[in-house]
Each structure stands twice: as C-alpha cells, then as structure tokens.
Structure 1
Amino acid sequence: MKKKLVAVAVGLMMTATGCAERTSQAAPAVEVQAGLTQSQLNQLSATLDVKYRLLSNFPEQCSGDGAGERCFAAQIELTPAADFDDNTWSIYFSQMRPVQQVLSQQFAIERVKGDLHKITPTEQFAGFKAGEKVTIDFIGQSWQLSEIDAMPNYYITAGELSPAVIKSTQVSIDSETGMEVRPYVVDFDDELNHYKRSKSDQLQWAKSDVLFAANQTIEHDSAQVVDAIIPTPLSQVVSSTDQAVDLNAGIKVILNGVKASSVDAALNRLARIGVAQSNSGLPTLLELDKTITGEGAYELTIGADRIVINANSDAGFSYGLASLTSLVDVKSKKVNAMKVVDAPRYDFRGMHVDVARNFHSKAFILDLLDQMAAYKLNKLHLHMADDEGWRLEIEGLPELTDIGGQRCHDLAENNCLLPQLGSGPSTDTQVNGYYSKADYIEILQYAGARQIEVIPSMDMPGHSRAAIISMEARYRKLMAQGLEQQANEYRLTDPLDTTVYSSVQYYDDNTINVCMESSFHFVDKVIDEIANLHEQAGQPLKIYHIGADETAGAWLESPLCKAFIANNDQGVTSVDELGAYFIERLSNLIASKGILAAGWSDGMSHTRPEKMAKNNQSNIWDVVAHGGHKRAHQQANLGWDAVLGNPEVLYFDFPYVNDPKEHGYYWASRGTDERTLHSFMPDNLPANAEQWTDIEGKPFEADDRVTKDDQGKLVSGPLKQGVKFAGLQGQIWSETLRSDELVEYMIYPRLLVLAERAWHKASWEVPYNYEGAVYNQQTGTFTNEMRAAQSKQWGELANTLGQKELVKLDLAGIDYRVPTVGAKIEQGMLYTNIIYPGLSIEYRANGGDWQKFTAPVAVTGQVEVRAIAADNQRKGRTLVVN
C-alpha cells in the first residue's frame, strides 16, 4: 500500500521499545555569535535540545479542582550545544491550549493565531551556555491529559533568515509499531497530576492490570469463528459442517447480465485473500431477483457444487460477495454450506474523514473506500475545507488551493496559511496538499464502483479561515491590477468589521460574513463546481454538507451586518439570527439544485424549521452523557434525516484506551475501544446511560420524558411514534493525525465494529420507549439477560477479528491498531490476555529477548508485554506489567 517512512531526528536513535536516547555522536558544539548567519541558525536548530514537560493539571494558579476554569502548569526546557548570546531569534510552536501566563523572566510567549505561539527572549535573557538547561515555565488554559498535546516541529527564526525546524522536536516513527514517537516529550507518568481531569475523576488508567480485568470475559473459541460474518447477517442457516466447501481452486463467476464493473472490487478482495477467479473454480452465479427488495439486500447460498447470490441491485451482489469473503479463512480457503438472507439495518452507513486539518493522500482514501465496501458501508463524508486548509481544486479560484492548501511561515499569508497543528515552517510536508479535479473525479469513480456515495463538505460559515484568507489574497491581487469588481466578487469578510471574538480553536477571523452577497456568490460557485466534478465522474451530487457551524459573537461590529439588519426583507431582526439566516438560505439554495443540504446538529438547531428546505440531513455530534439524545430527537422529529455520530463511541480520533500515550483527542472520551462501540444501542440513545459512564468514569442519567419551560413550550422529549434515525457515521478529525498510517491506526479495527452496528440490529438492544423514560445505572431496562447476550456476541466478534478478519486487513496493507495487552503477575507467575483472542503475545523480563507467551510462566524483575499483528509483522505498544 503506502511506504513506511522512518524519520529519525538528528542526534537520536530509537530503542526497541520506541524510547529515544541521546547518542554519543552528538553534533559538535559550535559557539554562535550575535548577528546570526543562516548556517549558524541551522546549526542552532540542529543541536538545540528541547523537552516539553507537563508539571501538573492542578497548579496553585487554578481556581478550584473541578472541570471548570481549569489551567495546567507546563515547562519547555532548552539545552543548547554552544554558547549563544544573540537575542534576535524567535521560536514558533503549536500549543493547542493557549498559554495564559509565563512564569520565566527571561522569555515571553505570544499567541500568534489559533494554536501558533512564539517564544522570544526578554531583556532579562542572559544568553545560552553550552550544556546548561534553561526553562520556560508557563500556565496554560484547561488541562493536558495526553502526550499528543505536545505538538512537534518547533522552528526558529531570526530576521530575514529562512526558518529552521528544531530537529529535537520532530517526531520519529517506531519501525516495529509504526507509531509516532515524540522524543521531546517527558513521560506523563503521574496519575493524579498528569491524567486526572479533576480531583474527583474516577477514570482508570488502562494499565496492564486494568486491561487484564476487562479482557477476562473474552475466551478464545475457534468454533465461533468458522461461520462468522462481519457484519452479522439478518439470517444465517448452516446446512452442513461435516464436509466444508473447498475454494482453493477459486470461483468461476457467471454474471448473468450483472455488470462486471459493479462487482470487480468485491472479486478483487476475494482474490487478495486467495480465492481468485478461475475456469476450474466453483461455479458462482449472480442471479437478478426482483422479489428481493431494499438497497443492498441479498441472498447467499453456498452448496457443494455451486454458490448463488440473488439480489436486485449492484450493492446486493457486492455485499453477497463481501459476506463470502468474510466467511473465508485465509489459511484453509474453506467455508460451510449455508444460506444467508440479509438486508441492512440503516440506509446510511457512513465514515467521515477530515483531510482539511491535516491532508491525507488520495491513496489513503482509495484504500479506505476498499475497506468500507468490504464491510458494507456506503457513505464517505469527505471534509475538505476548514480553518487549517482547503483541499479541493475549484475551477476559477486557484487561490483556494495555492494558498489555502498550504501552511508555511508566511506571517502576511500572501503565499500560504500560517503554520498550525505542528505543521512547521515549510510547505514541503505531508500535511499540506489538495486533491486536483482529476484526483477528485478518480475518488468519485472509485467510490461509485463500490456502491459508495461521496458527500463533500466545505465547512461554513465558521471554520472557514482557509477560504477567507485565500479570497483576501485574491482580492489584493485583483485590486493591484485595478480590477475592483472582480476583486469583490467572492470576498468573504467585511474589512471594517471590528468584532472581537474567538472560535473554539482560538481563531478571531474564521467566520464568513453572512451579510455580504459575495459570500453567497462564493458558496454558489463552489457548489456548482463540485457538482460539475460529480457529473464528470458519472456520480451526481446528491448530498452537500455545509458544515453549518457558528462562531459565537461574530458580526457584532460589522457595518455591513448592521446595515443588512436595518434594511433586510428576510425577517432578520438581530445579529443573533444571522447564523440561522445563512443556513436557511443555503438549505434552500442547495435544494433548488436538487441536492440535499446537510449540516452539523449544533448549527442546524439554531435554524427556523419553517424557513428551511423541506428535507435536510443533520449530523448529530452531541454527547449522550451531556443529554445528547435531546437534540437528536428534536431534529429527527422535524422529519430530517438524523445521522448519529455521537462522539463517545463514533469519534475515531479519540483514544482507544485510557492512557496518555495513546493517540487522539479526548474532549468527550479518553477511551473508546471496540467493545464500547459494539455496546452502542443507537435506536435508544438515552438507554445507553444504563451501561456507560462519562469522561471521568462517573455514571450519568438520561431523561427522555417531555420537558417544558415556564411558558409551557416544549424543551425536549421523546421521538414521535415511528420516527427513526437515518443511520450511523464514524468520524475522524485530523488535528492530531499527521500521517495516513496514523489515521488508519485510529480507524481500524473500529470501522469493522461500526459496520456491525450500522448493518445489524442486535437482539440485546433495549427497544425504544416512545412514551419517554428515565435511564440510569439503577433503572434496569437493560436487563441482565440483555447484558449476557451482548457479552456473548462481543466474544464472538472479538474472536472473529482476532482469528480471521485482522489478517485480511494485513493483506490489504492496512495499518490497524495492534492492541495493548492485559497482564498481571501473581505469586511470580505471569498471566496475559488480549481483546482479540488469536493474536500472539510476547513478553520479556529485565530488557531481555522477547519470547512468545503460550501459558502462564514464572518471571522476575521488570516484565513487559506486547501483542503481534495477525500477520506476525507489526508489534503493538509495549506495556510494563504493574
């Protein structure tokens, strides 16, 4: 698939456990004099050692110990290799939670924009002395609970010299695990000060003993795996287990009029696991059957002399072949005779990928589409524009990608956006880039051949900084040519707007001005150009996602908005209604083009339903533990297509387990493993309160009864009788994910469990109560029998992943997460277990050689454990047995 690049920072070498050690061959110390030259700056960047150290999430400067008004104390440590007295330098770095107070007298820290900060020496700076550490202590906003918070690629500038990345702040890639290693980050190893969100935080750190306890309910059972299909079919009757059907000779496909192009992808996947097409293979008949209704429904019959797939759509035939592939064991190439009758639970079974924050390659997207098709997912929500990047070429607006598709050290932003998210000073990095028109057409056609619909998303009116900056650059260029009318044609901001605001990501200039006709002209242009690409690809644009995010406080001091409110005929009477007006107008504009408008649930909730188009899609990203079912029910009750993306189970950019070394954001969950995702009861959101806890490991209550305010107006309530959700969507946001490999690590194998929940409704799910009810961990609606059935099915799924499915991801070149190992030592004996029975486990004592774990074994000293991927190549992250 993709080449694995191993980037080792200068002066560092990787150990077997992924730790970084200083080598004995450090660059020689060179004394640097004032009046820097480029070579001296480069030498300084190559030899300056930087360490980032979290001190405490409970410093004395914080008010209180709860989750509100929080701060943390941290320290940046600088150790030069040479004496250095110059004070004209600046160090730029990304700090996602803003610095509030600098406690060191020799340095100042200024926030430039978003997460970009700048360190400069003050008048008290006494210069650097070779080998002597100096520290910059500071207080930051909120808290830091993960080592990924320390962003990489600090860089140093001085005057007009070219900026240089400080090499000690670059990430390396561990060659055994494929994971990023941050040698500049001091371990977060203090559970109270480094991993408690508040002093009442009850969340358990997922150390080896915690994982061992969690995995004890999963028993290794090969018998469960033989006839398992992911996702679970509607009906499956095995007719013979005495003599399995042998597919080692392959299959001979008889299309019977079915288009070969519609099943080629499914057949290619079969071939990849060793079941190729062959004239001597088992006859496999595709039979058109108009009595089978429902998009994607199929029947699969496997007999000793033939295989028959009956369906009434391209998707049905592909899914029948996907189920056959799921049945195949890659070693034996044998399956039992059976009949499968199947149809999807939800029409919308989606995966969202953010390529705006950090760009991800076309090759990654094509690989993702392959795996989505393999597990019967049918919607790719492609998020291609946000504050940090615009990732799709638009005819006639080259600035969007020439400038908005790149980040670099250009403080005026004439040639690129400012660095963000640790992207560094150069455009020559993998986090920069965009899809050309040809790339996008290829993606659309590749998706179409796999019965997957692509939903483009360019976020507006908030989260639009890349577009705004790009169109301002276009404005300046055309004004310099004397072309004022053209310059204003797509301008997105009122130059006289003095509003002071801050977005969630700390931008003060990321919101399109909705009072300007040029803003709507821009949106109209973008949608038309994207629709044209879809037409060229033969895949008409059906859904367009506008984002619909708002920025609180925007437009307050815009003269254009004041004039618009005073003179408009749109019923807008105050600045508070401008966000709704924008979404309402776009909803109707998009509907007039025959396209369904979609948006995120927060922005959609501010609209006036009577002013919206009749049909809309709302993506629900509300946290269930925070009453997220209420907005989901309200918007589904409007008749909109409500697609669930609840963060605590469906945000795949969150950590798998509660551990500060795990990758991912963590604002709604610090541990979303596949077992938790499997437990999701999407048809009854509030009922999940009976089995889940909140971000601090505490129980919560979900009240789904009718609630009214003092005036008798409905505030929240249950779904209307018969109303259901449109489907599920997994989400990847890319703020902390810089490589394709890392995104795959976060997506897989969660994507397979997403497919299970989106396709199959489990018998153990609590039926929805349309009368409304209260749910907590004492209400007992989720019965012991249901819990036992859930646990049993999870064991079957876990065994199937560990013994049959993960190796198929290996064969496809997918860098899925190899899980961390549960382990304990009792009376000198080591015991281990794993979330996926079938994967190999290794252990070592006192840093010795790794040995395969096969049974409890006597150990002494420090013991470490790790898992091995299904193909016995990649390794999982090492844990010390505590």
Structure 2
Amino acid sequence: MNKTIAATAILVALGLSACSEGPKTVNTPVLSSAEQPTSAPVTQAQLQQFGDNLGVTYRVLTNRPDDNCDKAAAEGRCFVAEIDFVPGVELIGQDWAIYFSQMRPVQSVEGKEFSITHIKGDLYRIAPTEAFSGFSKGVKKTLRFRGELWQLSETDAMPNYYIVAGDLSPVVIASTQVKQDPETRMEVRPYVEPFTDMVKQYRRTDTDKLAPATATQLFSNNQNVSEDASLVANTIIPTPQKVTIHSHDKAVSLTSGIQLDVASVSSPSAEKPSFKTDQVAAALERLARLGVKESDQGLAVKLSWRQGAQGSYLLDIKPDGIKIAAGDAAGFSYALSSLASLIDVQDLRVNAMTIEDSPRYSFRGMHIDVARNFHSKAMIFALLDQMAAYKLNKLHLHMADDEGWRLEIDGLPELTDIGSKRCHDLEENTCLLPQLGSGPLPESSVNGFYSKQDYIEILQYADARQIQVIPSMDMPGHSRAAIKAMEARYRKLLAQGKPAEAKTYLLSDAADTTVYASVQYYNDNTLNVCMESTYRFVDKVIDEIAALHKTAGVPLTRYHIGADETAGAWKQSPECLAFVANNDKGVKSIEELGAYFIERIAHQLAQKGIEAAGWSDGMSHVRPENMPAKVQSNIWDVIAHKGHERAHKQLSQGWEVVLSNPEVLYFDFPYEADPKEHGYYWASRASNSRNVFSFMPDNLPANAEQWTDIEQRPFEADDRPKRDAAGQIISGPRPEGKTVSGLQGQLWSETIRSDATVEYMIFPRLLMLAERAWHHASWEVPYQYQGAVYHQGSGYFTPAMRKAQAQSWSQLANTLGHKELIKLDKAGIDYRVPTVGAQIRDGKLFANVAYPGLKIEYRAANGPWQAYQAGHAVTPPIEIRAIAADGERKGRSLLVH
C-alpha cells in the first residue's frame, strides 16, 4: 500500500532492520559524572522565547555508503546528516528534549552532547547527555548522525521540530516551519541546506547514472519539442478516437454563449434512460468559467439519444448549431468537455468538425491519500472538477492509515476524536503521536476529518460529475490510527465498568509479544486478524459508510480494503496461536492469516453487494478460489523490477486489474531529478508529464524499450513463459482476451502538507493520465501473446513508432502551453510551472520549456527580471524561470552558468 519507503525493501532488495518494542536510544555515550551547569527551572515564557529564537539548519553531507554503515541494516546503505542549533537566547540545564520527524532510521550519533531516541514511526527525540554544556546565545552546536538508506530530497527533512521541558506545553521551533514562496506559491523549507555536491549528496552508488535536472540538462531534454501554435487549434485532451474537420465551413464563434436544447432527451422511455439537465451542470459550469455561458442568444446545442458504449458520444460542431448524441449522462458531459477543450479562451472560437469518441478503459481513476496529511473538502471538490473535465471517472479516497483516520463513523467517535489528530501526547489518550512533521499541536492544518455531511456532499458532488467514489480504510496493516483509537475506547469503557462493551471493537491483543516492524517503522500498526472483535469493527465501519452512501443517493458498490500485510505480525499473539490451533477455517499456520483476513473481508463485502478491491501485493497471498468472482486489484509493482509478472498473473485469475505502477503513476514522486522537487522517490526520481504520456499500458514489458530504472540504467523485461522445478508456469504472457480495466494515478501524502502542494504534484500530470486512460495511441507497441524479451535494443518499439510518439507529444505539449494550462489557472489550480532549460553559447542565452507557449524570463545577479528572447547577450551566472499561462504565478528558477 503505501508504497513510499515501503517498496524500497521490495524494489531494491534492502533488508530493513526491525524496530524495537519500545523507544530505542541511539549511541548515547557512557560518561563519567562531571560538574554540570545548573539553573532554575525554565518557565513557559522562556521556553517559548527559546523556541522562537533557535536557529536550526539541516544538511545531508553524503548519501554514499562507507565502512561505518551498519552492515546489518539496509545492506550497508546509509547517509550522514547534520543538524545545527544556533540559540538566540541561552538555555542552561538538561530538563528539555527536542522532538522531530526523521523518515529514515537513525543508526548512530557522533559526538558526546546529544542522544537520539526512536519513539515510534518517524518520531525521534533529541536529548542532552551528561556532557551537554548548555545552549549559549549565538554559539552553534552541531549534531551529526548516520541513518539508513538515503535522503535525496529536501522534503525528506520534515518540519515542525518542537521542544518540551518538564510539564510545560510544547513549543514549535519557529525556524523549522515551512514557508510559502510568494511568487511561486510553493512550499519551501528554509531550514534545509541546499545540495551542492550532486555526486556525494544525490547519487546513491557508483552505478547511479541519474543526470540531475540542471538548466543545461533540461535544455537537452526539451530540444525535440518546438513551439508551434498551429498544432493546437483542433486538439482535445484526452485525444478522441476520430475527428473529421469540416474545412469548408467557417469557424464557429461561441462569444454569444450556448443554448441547451434537451427536448429530445427529456422524455424517458423503456429504451432510453432518464435525463436531467443537472447531470451536465458541471460541464456547463466549466464552459461558463471559460467564457461560454448559457444564453437565450447563444448557439443551439441539441442533445439526442444514441446507442453506444458507456461514456461514448458524437459531437457535431457546425456554424448553425452543435449536436451531441450519447447514450448516457457521462457521454453528454464528455462531449461538452471536449467542446471546452477545443476552446481557445482568447477568442472563444472553434473549428467546424465532427467527433466520434469512446473511452479506452472503463476505469480511469485518481487516488488521493488524505490519511497521512489531511486535505480539505474544497480541495477534493476542485480535484473532482478537473477529473470530470478530463473524463476521469473513479476517485479512490484513502481515508485511514497509520497516521490518521479521516471519516466520522457513527457510534465510534474515538476514530475521529483521537485518530484524526496528532499532538504531543506520548500516551495517546487524546491524539496520535506526532508523525511526518505534524508538530505537537492538535489544531495543525494536517489534522482533521470529514464529517458525515462532508462525505455525503463529496459523494453527491462526484456523482454529479459521473465519478464513482471508492472509499478506502487500509487494513490489516497501515491501521495504527484505528488500533490506537479503539484501545482508547477500550480504556475509557473499562474505567466505566463496561468490560464487555469495551472489547466489542478491540483490534489488538494486549498479550501479543510479537516483535515486528512495518515499512514505516511501526511495531503496532496491524489489526489482529484472529479476534472476532476485529471483524465486528470492519463490519460496523462498512455498514456506516454504506449508510452514508445510501443517504447521498449513491449506493456503495466497491470498497478498497487495502489488503496490506505486515510481515511477522501475529506470531506471538495468544489469540492467533489459539486460532490456528483450534480453528475450523482451514488456516493451518500463522503465515496464512493475512490471506484468511482478506478472503473473509472480501466475502463479508460480497454479502452486502459490495465488490472488494485491494493492492496487488496483499491480494497475491490469497487463494483465488476462496475469493468472490468480482475482485479489483491495483498493480503497484515497478516495471523495471518485473512489474508485469504480477499484473499478468492476476489477469489470468479473472480479476479486474487496474494499473497503478509507481514509476509512472505515482504523482507524489518528483517531476524532475532535483532535490528541491517534492516527493518520495523509491521507484523514480523523475516522473514528469511526458513520462506519463509515454506509458504503454497494454504492453507493460515493452516499456523497457523506452525507460530506464531509478538509477537511469537500462533494464530488461522478460515476458516469456517461466516454469518452476515441477514444470508449473510461474509467470509469462497474459492470456489472450484478457486486458487491464484501466489506470489509476496515485498521490500519497507523506510529504504533501497543503492543498496547494497537492495541486502542484497532481497537475498537469493528471491530464496525461487522462490521455492514456482514454486514448489508445497508434504508436504503442502491440502485445506479443507468445511472449518476448524487451530491452532498449529489442526493436519492437520501431523508429516509426518513436517518431509518431514524439510528434504526438509535441502536439500535446504545445496544447498545454498555448491553450490548456490557462484553463487550470482560471479554475484556481496551482499546477507545476516547469523549470526551464537553458544554455549560454558565445555569451548569448538560449532557453526552452517543456510546454511551449509559456513565457520565460531571466535576470542576472538578483537584478530585475527581463522577458526572454533567444540570443540575448548575458553575463553568467543568470537565473531563469517560466511563468504560468495567466502571467501571474512564477515557476522555480534555475541557475545557468
């Protein structure tokens, strides 16, 4: 499930070390006692003053392993980092501690004045040792430590360090808070020292060939996309199946608006579905936002019924009127979306043409994680608007994980009273532990939940845009928020003398002594699948969610259970040992418990008329014969690591397979190979819109011909049949007649704190997700059902296909820059403005940008910004950046030497 650090172990074969059962102090020195400075106890005002004035700087020294790495952890991979503390006021004494989030486990500490203790997950405590000599005003103290794996991004350094002393209220250290750049609106971390040595700091190994996205590198990358505004006039995103241009007709003006004629679709019959104008209201609202409003003087737009696949439509645009024929509300909405895509907002004219269109896949989805860091209902509405605009139809709403529970459940108030917020309560009686840089305060913006009414409104808003919401509360792993909330409920009811009621929804076995570690370093985040109270809890939650769907008028028909397992859980649980010894469920060992849970919950859902969905890793453990007939599996395997094999196997089981491959469909990964870019990077350090566009989803292994792995090395994908020692097929080509159901983009929120950052990470990649989910490109390599081996020299992706792909990308890139991004601006979407490619030749500046049509500007030595023109004489170094399509927001600048 999240995949984040999680998949590091799977994908690069790392052996992660297990967490201890309790807090672990790293490398605390054993010292002889010495005379220590003494002082009066600090007051709340003094602690606040210290936190307000303590300067903190975080720097990564190297990501290259050396002989001092812990060889037992992560196969000897480690990094070295430092934290500088520069006090603005004095603090003498040892009755204090600083808490901070550290996404990679700390192995050891250098120096004698500080210790670091692991609390839980990514929460660590810095404390003074006996050798600590006090904080003196203006005197820097440096804490150097070694951690597992790598830290390759500035966003790895989580914000909101906080200091505690005795019983005083915790104080956030002001210098560690994130800021917003007023020109770019990007979240920045001023406490993080920029990377300067891209070999020691950004390359992980000697074999790492990744080229950082400098201005020079981007200039080379952008060279084969030239600016050509003529390409965009008749372009629609996503690309329709068939477009016929009526060149003999004059262009159609929409300056007077449109007049909707629904007379022929407003009378339902046995052959025709019912139609209401509000079913296309969202599409009409988008047209109005672009300047094309409904008006009695507008051009007639006549709707009529026609048979066809779900979402298909015919759009006929002529000077005397527009005709739309479709078989459902989605088809009518998509036709209006295509009309909106054709519009140039500068003149509101479109060419006369006929479009016949139908979707490539029935599942065209976007996943958003609101559990790790909460995101507002308004942001969800904005996302749904843009999903509808680009013909996406599934929202996978991930509302519960280790770090938060985000949906009000009737009868279980603890889930949101405790599970929806993180604060400094180490006993977790009022909230969860701080994680992911949330800080100590419950009112933090990363905390929160959707009320029942909020969720009903989300469902109705989505339904009005022909989008199905698929709710997800992850289980049995990634369930810490629920577990801790139900433990708090248990303690409360036990204290009230209600032991039976206290146990009703308990999710953990207090006598369980199993030592295990999840991939996010929790040792207590897995539901106990041997307790009947766990199944009562799941049943209760699903029933309450289904009731909300019913109230909204949108039945719950699919539920995503996550289906994550935690390796090693349950082994020493008395409940599970007894269950395995005495059960009549066919479970013969502890290792089969994960499969049993998934199978049982899937049938529990099926009995309620709800289809089960889950992530492919957990789903691969079940026995297919024990699962319901209709099952969805999200494939999150990395293609460079045999990611096609599980997809093909699960297709052969008759399951509905939705591709969610991380190196192309995880939008929480960086756009470019730059440590200043947001996101995790365990499967890719550069996944821009062109990469998403290039995806060949019907032939997963063929992507080996055009992509490299995380270290920019070529890889091979072998899709030939393979057998085990007994001669049984263990992997091979997908069966003829079996194809995937669709694609889903993912946004995990560990490093995504604000709604604006959500938009930055999703857009404009979402438009290319829509392109691939809707349109089957002619340049995609046909699937070889007999099996084949693919690599960069295998030749299935022919020069003609490559040329067609490049031409298609050039057209779409120009469409984004000249016509489409301005529509996101008008919708208030803070999409990523690309960094600019540039080089200086013979003292003259030459630049390009990923989306031709966007304006570029430059400046020298912090002087005034100037409009770019090719060949301007400059004196290096200079800064260069692009500007959003509306001319307001600026992109991040790069230096050109």
Give the TM bin, normalised by the shorter chain: over 0.9
Equivalent residues in 2 for 1:352-431 (5 A)?
352-431=367-446
User: 1:11 maps to what in 2?
Assistant: none
* Corresponding residue pairs, total: 850
Aligned to 1:711: 726
Partner Cα distance (1:793, 1:140) in 2 = 44
Distance (whole Å) between structure 2 residues aligned to residue 633 and residue 586 of structure 1: 24
Q: C-alpha displacement at 1:32, in angstroms?
A: 11
Aligned to 2:153: 146
> Which deviates more, 556-565 or 53-62?
53-62
Partners of 1:652 and 1:226 lie apart in 2 by: 29
The structure 1 residue matched to 2:283, chosen from 236, 248, 266, is 266
**2:816 pairs with 1:801:** yes
User: What's 2:194 paired with?
Assistant: 187
Mapped contact 1:153–1:422 kept (Cα < 8 A): yes
Q: What is the rounded CA distance, in whole Å, between the counterparts of 1:66 and 1:251 in structure 2?
A: 65
The one of 811, 814, 818 equivalent to 2:829 is 814
Q: Work out the CA distance in 2 between the residues paired with 1:94 and 1:66.
A: 20
Say which of 168, 192, 206 aligns to 1:161.
Answer: 168
Q: Distance in 2 between the 1:679 and 1:65 partners?
A: 39
Contact 1:32 1:82 in 2 (8 A): no
Give the corresponding residue for 1:83.
90
- Could you tell me which residue of structure 2 aligns to residue 605 of structure 1? 620
Query: 2-side partners of 1:241 and 1:223: how far apart?
Result: 18
Which of these residues, 32, 48, 51, is aligned with residue 54 of structure 2?
48
Aligned to 2:801: 786
Q: Aligned runs of 1:619-658 on 2, under 5 Å?
A: 619-658=634-673
Cα displacement (A) at 1:242: 6.2
**Counterparts of 2:585 and 2:869, CA distance in 1:** 72
Structure 1 pair 248–557 and aligned structure 2 pair: CA distance change class (3 A):
same
Deviation of the 1:86 alpha carbon: 1.6
Q: Does the aligned pair in 1 maintain the 2:408–2:451 contact within 8 Å?
A: yes
Point out the more displaced range, 461-470 or 590-599.
Answer: 590-599
How far has the Cα of 1:856 moved from its partner?
Answer: 1.7
Measure the CA separation in 2 of the matches of 1:474 and 1:614: 37
- Kindly state the Cα deviation for residue 771 of structure 1 after the two structures are TM-superposed: 1.0
**Aligned match of 2:677 in 662, 676, 680?**
662
* Aligned counterparts of 2:135 and 2:73: Cα–Cα separation in 1: 39
Secondary structure of the structure 1 residue equivalent to 2:679: coil
User: Residue 212 of structure 1: which of 210, 213, 219 is its match?
Assistant: 219
Partner of 1:582: 597
Change in 2 beyond 3 A, CA 1:59/1:694: closer
Q: Is 1:250 the counterpart of 2:265 in the alignment?
A: no
1:238 to 230, 242, 245: 245
Which secondary structure state, in structure 1, belongs to the residue aligned with residue 680 of structure 2? Answer: coil
Q: In 2, are the aligned partners of 1:67 and 1:198 still within 8 Å (CA)?
A: no
> How far off is 1:255 after superposition?
1.5
Which residue pairs with 2:231 in the alignment? 224
Matching residue of 2:356 = 341
1:65–1:198 CA contact under 8 A, matched in 2: no
Q: Normalised by the size of structure 1, how large is the TM-score?
A: 0.95
Relative to structure 1, the CA distance from residue 39 to residue 33 in structure 2 (aligned partners, 3 Å threshold; closer, same or farther) is: farther
Structure 2 equivalent of residue 745 of structure 1: 760
- Partner residue, 1:308: 323
Instruction: Give the match's secondary structure for 1:240.
Output: coil
Give the structure 2 partner of residue 518 of structure 1.
Answer: 533
Q: Is 1:876–2:882 an aligned residue pair? A: no
Letter in 2 for 1:52: Y
Q: Which of residues 94, 99, 103 in structure 2 aligns to 1:96?
A: 103
Specify the alignment match of 1:28 in structure 2: none
**For 1:408 and 1:594, how far apart are their aligned partners in 2?**
39
Q: Which residue of 2 aligns with 1:37?
A: 43
Report if the CA contact (8 A) 2:99-2:163 is conserved. Answer: yes
1:735-778 CA-to-partner distances (Å, cap 9, x unmatched) read 00000000100000000000000000000000111111110011
Distance in 2 (alpha carbons) for counterparts of 1:309 and 1:815 = 32
Distance 2:564 2:855 in 1: 45
Alignment of 1:417-496 (within 5 A): 417-496=432-511
SS of the equivalent of 1:571 reads: coil
For the residues of structure 2 that align with 1:673 and 1:483, how far apart are their CA atoms?
Answer: 55
CA contact (8 A) 2:689 2:764 kept: yes
- Provide the residue aligned with 2:32 in structure 1: none
SS of alignment partner, residue 191 of structure 1: coil
Q: CA deviation at 1:59?
A: 4.9
Q: Measure the CA separation in 2 of the matches of 1:109 and 1:43.
A: 24
Q: Are 1:570 and 2:599 matched, yes or no?
A: no
1:127 matches 2:134: yes
Unaligned runs of at least 5 residues, structure 1: 1-30
Contact 1:66 1:198 in 2 (8 A): no
Q: Partner residue of 1:277? A: 294
Q: Determine if contact 1:208/1:881 at 8 Å carries over to the other structure.
A: yes
Cα distance in 2 for partners of 1:67, 1:561 equals: 30
Contact 1:80–1:131, Cα closer than 8 Å, also in 2? yes
- Identical positions, percent: 63
Partners of 1:645 and 1:241 lie apart in 2 by 44
Q: Match for residue 837 of structure 1?
A: 852
> What is the identity, as a one-letter code, of the residue corresponding to 1:270?
L
Amino acid at match of 1:123: E
- The SS at the match of 2:653 is coil
Following superposition, the deviation at residue 687 of structure 1 comes to 0.3
Three-state SS of the structure 2 residue aligned to 1:145 is coil
| Structure 2 residue aligned with 1:14 | none
The amino acid across from 1:462 in the alignment is G
Q: Superposition pairs for residues 843-858 of structure 1, below 5 Å? A: 843-858=858-873
For 1:722 and 1:768, the matched residues in 2 are separated by: 11
Question: Aligned partners of 1:437 and 1:63: how far apart in 2?
Answer: 48
Task: Answer whether contact 2:65 2:77 (CA < 8 A) is retained.
Answer: no
**Mean alpha-carbon deviation: is it higher for 717-726 or for 459-468?**
717-726
Q: Work out the CA distance in 2 between the residues paired with 1:66 and 1:92.
A: 24
CA distance in 1, matches of 2:465, 2:313: 16
- CA distance, structure 2, for counterparts of residue 393 and residue 495 of structure 1: 26
Aligned twin of 1:19 = none
The answer for the alignment partner of 1:6 in structure 2 is none
Instruction: Report what 2:340 is aligned to.
Output: 325
- Please tell me whether the aligned partners of residues 66 and 199 of structure 1 are also in contact (alpha carbons under 8 angstroms): no
65-74 vs 829-838, which moves further = 65-74
The answer as to whether partners of 1:690 and 1:777 remain within 8 angstroms in 2 is yes
**Matches of 1:413 and 1:763 in 2, distance apart?**
56
Distance in 2 separating the partners of 1:735 and 1:777: 34
1:653 and 1:564 map into 2 onto residues whose CA distance is 40
RMSD of Structure 2 on Structure 1 (CA)? 1.3
- Matched position secondary structure for 1:194: coil
State the match for 1:25 in structure 2. none
1:180 positional shift: 1.1
Quote the offset at 1:69 in angstroms: 2.6
Q: Secondary structure at the match of 1:875?
A: coil
Looking at structure 2, the residues matched to 441 and 67 of structure 1 have their Cα atoms a distance apart, in angstroms, of 45
The offset of 1:82, in angstroms, is 2.5
Supply the distance in 1 between the matched residues of 2:759 and 2:351 (Cα, whole angstroms): 32
Amino acid at match of 1:735: E
Distance 1:689 1:611 in 2: 35
| Residue of structure 1 equivalent to 2:4 | none
Deviation at 1:83, TM superposition (A): 2.8
Q: Return the TM-score normalized by structure 2.
A: 0.94
Please list the CA deviations of residues 416-471 of structure 1 after superposition, one character each: whole Å capped at 9, or x if unmatched: 00000000000111100000000000000000000000000000000000000000
